[in-house]
């Protein structure tokens, strides 16, 4: 056998790697990963949608010396199987190049280190012309003419990643300016989610500031931590072969009736709460994938409030088969098996939040307006024939009115708009009810009937005890107690 040295043909290989499938937002996130790894605290994302459009990411990280910069521009500059620092967000030694050139035809990286600027550029036209892996080194004058160079220069150290000749972003667009602004707007939303554990306002644990064209990108915490409740304590799944572990932390969002319309929209996005249930997998605190149960359970209506945070360290990349774009990763069997057990608990918990009212009605000792009964044929909703107000009413009306009342109640029961309501809930419409004050006024006006029947203090205490177990009085029992007893005090005077 003899050896033939067969390096890839640069213009074609680069052109092919452009089609690796990065979205604009995933590409930007990959560049921001590099800034975070370089210990940047301030990251500025800038874009210009007209004249000579560009997208730039400027950070105040540690920067690179000249050799490091050159090496970093190489496709495959790091061993994909190497052990990385635990806070390193990289893996394949590709992102800087593949993410950037998936969006543009000219990538310039300028870095400031020890008060000196170094610049390198991959330009696809130049590579096409030379037919070689021809990296360009910028001289000082060329660097100083680059857009945003002064923003980089204002930092002690840092790096500017500049994308120009943005062919992918403008492909097929009519109004390029609007198209870019819209896409960057979407990217900003994506970044506020995937980096929420770094960004202020999003439950930041490791703070960075991210600013897009002067506007702060605030973190968006998908767990609504301030209002959700944890479904169970944080759990760790040990992976002994890798001397490592995975963290699992489930949350149950508040019941939609406890959320405002804006909150439902905010936490449900354009496809609704249901589509965003599931695992949220973080690698080094950066969100990789979300809104999936990895087929371990169904994306069920009743589990839609469950969101489970999973934390994986970068030492488990191979096990999770992390892809180059950092947009897919699958749990290994050892984790899946454990997740399957945990999932049941979590989903049951979400279901409970969701069906709380229904279950409570059939099982607790409260007298409800509606009774819910699980029958062989299905669930039956019935008006409670023993409801106290109905009893009182029956005492004071004649038989003819009683018959009419029964018929009326029956038609309410049998014409309850179940299908419509189910549809509205499914579509996360807010079901409007009278506010508490209006409800309380109605309750107050009903109290008279009970009070009139009371002859002494004992009767009143009995009334209170009965109302404390009767819907909707039980929700206002302290205020009701005051009214019922206060009235008695008056009598005694
Ligand atoms: N903003 C930056 N600041 C400092 N160093 C950087 C920056 N971006 C990239 N680098 C260096 O370039 C290398 C290559 O980056 P990249 O191609 O994204 O691969 P990876 O992140 O997988 O290592 C990084 O390992 C890092 O050393
Ligand atoms: Mg990287």
- Residue of 171, 170, 167, 172 whose CA lies nearest to 181: 170
Which of 230-247 are b and which e, b meaning 16 or more Cβ less than 10 Å from the residue's Cβ?
ebeeebebebeeeebbbe
CA distance 137 to 120: 5
CA distance 358 to 170: 52
Q: Using CA positions, which residue lies closest to atom 12 of ligand 1?
A: 72
pLDDT of residue 373: 75
pLDDT of residue 263: 92
Q: How far apart are the first and last CA of the chain?
A: 115
Residue linked to tokens 């080094």: 284
What is the mean pLDDT of the segment spanning 114-128? 98
Q: Using CA positions, which residue lies closest to atom 19 of ligand 1?
A: 93
Domain with CATH 3.30.565.10 in the chain: 10-216
pLDDT of residue 40: 97
- Residue of 110, 115, 79, 107 whose CA lies nearest to 94: 79
pLDDT of residue 304: 86
* Six-digit token string for 296: 């371990």
Q: 44 CB less than 6 Å from ligand 1?
A: no
Domain with CATH 3.30.230 in the chain: 229-354
229-354: which CATH architecture?
2-Layer Sandwich (3.30)
Which residue did the predictor score with more confidence, 302 or 292?
A: 292
Q: At what angle do helices 436-453 and 388-396 cross, to 10 degrees?
A: 50
Q: 158 CB less than 6 Å from ligand 1?
A: no
pLDDT of residue 359: 39
pTM for the complete prediction? 0.78
Residue 224 C-alpha to ligand 1 middle, in angstroms?
33
Q: What pLDDT, in 10s, does the model give residues 360-405?
A: 344 567 888 888 777 666 777 888 888 888 888 888 888 888 888 8
Peptide bond before 472: cis, by omega within 30 degrees of 0?
yes
CA distance 358 to 354: 9
Cβ neighbours of residue 349 closer than 8 Å, sequence gap 6 or more: 231, 232, 250, 252, 306
pLDDT of residue 362: 46
Q: 176 CB less than 6 Å from ligand 1?
A: no
* Six-digit token string for 375: 């029958």
Q: 73 CB less than 6 Å from ligand 1?
A: no
- Residue 279 · residue 290 · CB < 8 Å: yes
Q: 222 CB less than 6 Å from ligand 1?
A: no
Specify the ligand 1 atom closest to the Cα of 94: 17
| Residue 140 pLDDT class (50, 70, 90 cuts) | very high
Cβ neighbours of residue 221 closer than 8 Å, sequence gap 6 or more: 196, 202, 203
Residue 486 C-alpha to ligand 1 middle, in angstroms?
74
What is the mean pLDDT of the segment spanning 34-60? 97
* Six-digit token string for 329: 């990763």
Which residue did the predictor score with more confidence, 385 or 16?
A: 16
Specify the ligand 1 atom closest to the Cα of 63: 4
- Residue 317 · residue 295 · CB < 8 Å: no
Q: What pLDDT, in 10s, does the model give residues 155-195?
A: 999 999 999 999 999 888 889 899 999 999 999 999 999 99
Residue linked to tokens 């604009």: 24
Specify the ligand 1 atom closest to the Cα of 99: 18
pLDDT of residue 488: 57
Q: Using CA positions, which residue lies closest to atom 8 of ligand 1?
A: 34
- Residue 170 · residue 176 · CB < 8 Å: yes
With the most atoms of ligand 1 within 8 angstroms of its CB, the residue from 37, 71, 99 to mutate is 37
pLDDT of residue 16: 94
Residue linked to tokens 């607790």: 364
Name the average pLDDT for the chain: 89
Specify the ligand 1 atom closest to the Cα of 57: 1
Specify the ligand 1 atom closest to the Cα of 78: 23
Distances (CA, A) of 436 to 121, 264, 439, 441, 470: 65, 21, 5, 9, 16
3-state secondary structure at position 234: coil
CA distance 492 to 298: 63
CA distance 276 to 270: 10
| Residue 278 pLDDT class (50, 70, 90 cuts) | very high
Residue 22 has pLDDT above 50, yes or no: yes
Residue 68 C-alpha to ligand 1 middle, in angstroms?
9
pLDDT of residue 354: 61
Residue 57 C-alpha to ligand 1 middle, in angstroms?
13
Residue linked to tokens 């989903």: 347
Q: What pLDDT, in 10s, does the model give residues 68-103?
A: 999 999 999 998 888 899 889 999 999 999 999 999
CA distance 294 to 170: 34
Containing 370, the helix (H) or strand (E) segment is: strand 370-374
| CATH of region 10-216, choose from 3.30.420.10, 3.40.50.2300, 3.40.109.10, 3.30.565.10 | 3.30.565.10
Q: Using CA positions, which residue lies closest to atom 27 of ligand 1?
A: 72
Q: 64 CB less than 6 Å from ligand 1?
A: yes
pLDDT of residue 376: 63
Provide the 10 A C-beta neighbour count for residue 271: 10
Out of 84-98, 136-150, 318-332, 419-433, least confident range = 419-433
Q: What pLDDT, in 10s, does the model give residues 189-242?
A: 999 999 999 998 777 878 999 999 999 999 999 999 999 988 888 899 999 988
Distances (CA, A) of 482 to 249, 405, 443, 447, 486: 44, 32, 13, 12, 6
Q: 74 CB less than 6 Å from ligand 1?
A: no
Q: Using CA positions, which residue lies closest to atom 9 of ligand 1?
A: 34
């Amino acid at each position: 056998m003899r050896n033939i040295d067969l390096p890839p043909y640069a213009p074609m290989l680069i052109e092919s790697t452009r089609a690796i499938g990065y979205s604009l937002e995933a590409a930007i996130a990959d560049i921001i990963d590099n800034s975070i790894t370089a210990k940047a605290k301030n990251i500025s994302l800038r874009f210009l949608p007209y004249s000579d459009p560009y997208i730039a990411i400027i950070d105040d990280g540690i920067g690179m010396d000249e050799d490091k910069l050159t090496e970093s521009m190489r496709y495959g500059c790091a061993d994909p199987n190497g052990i990385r620092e635990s806070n390193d967000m990289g893996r394949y030694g590709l992102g800087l190049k593949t993410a950037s050139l998936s969006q543009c035809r000219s990538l310039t990286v300028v870095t400031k280190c020890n008060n000196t600027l170094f610049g390198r550029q991959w330009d696809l036209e130049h590579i096409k012309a030379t037919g070689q892996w021809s990296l360009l080194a910028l001289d000082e004058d060329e660097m100083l003419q680059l857009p945003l160079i002064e923003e980089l220069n204002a930092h002690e150290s840092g790096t500017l990643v500049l994308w120009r000749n943005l062919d992918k972003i403008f492909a097929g667009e009519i109004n390029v300016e609007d198209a870019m602004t819209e896409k960057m707007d979407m990217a900003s939303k994506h970044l506020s989610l995937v980096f929420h554990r770094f960004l202020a306002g999003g439950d930041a644990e490791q703070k960075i500031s991210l600013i897009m064209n002067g506007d702060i990108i605030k973190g968006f915490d998908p767990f609504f931590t301030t209002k959700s409740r944890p479904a169970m304590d944080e759990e760790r799944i040990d992976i002994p072969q890798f001397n490592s572990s995975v963290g699992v932390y489930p949350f149950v969002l508040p019941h939609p009736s406890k959320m405002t319309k804006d909150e439902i929209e905010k936490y449900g996005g354009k496809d609704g709460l249901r589509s965003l249930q599931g695992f949220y997998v973080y690698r080094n605190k950066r969100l990789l994938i979300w809104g999936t149960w990895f087929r371990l359970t169904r994306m069920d209506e009743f589990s839609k409030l469950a969101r489970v945070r999973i934390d994986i360290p970068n030492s488990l990349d191979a096990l999770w088969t992390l892809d180059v774009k950092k947009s897919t990763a699958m749990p290994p069997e050892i984790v899946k098996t454990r997740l399957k057990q945990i999932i049941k608990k979590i989903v049951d918990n979400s279901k409970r939040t969701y069906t709380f009212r229904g279950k409570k009605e059939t099982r607790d000792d409260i007298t409800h307006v509606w009774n819910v009964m699980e029958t062989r044929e299905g669930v039956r909703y019935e008006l409670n024939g023993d409801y106290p107000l109905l009893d009182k009413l029956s005492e004071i009306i004649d038989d003819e009115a009683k018959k009419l009342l029964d018929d009326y109640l029956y038609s309410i029961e049998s014409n309850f708009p179940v299908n419509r309501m189910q549809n509205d809930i499914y579509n996360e419409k807010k079901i409007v009810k009278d506010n508490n004050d209006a409800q309380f006024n109605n309750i107050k006006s009903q109290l008279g009937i009970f009070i009139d029947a009371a002859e002494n203090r004992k009767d009143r205490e009995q009334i209170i005890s009965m109302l404390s177990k009767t819907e909707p009085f039980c929700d206002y029992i302290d205020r009701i107690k005051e009214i019922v007893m206060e009235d008695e005090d008056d009598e005694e005077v």
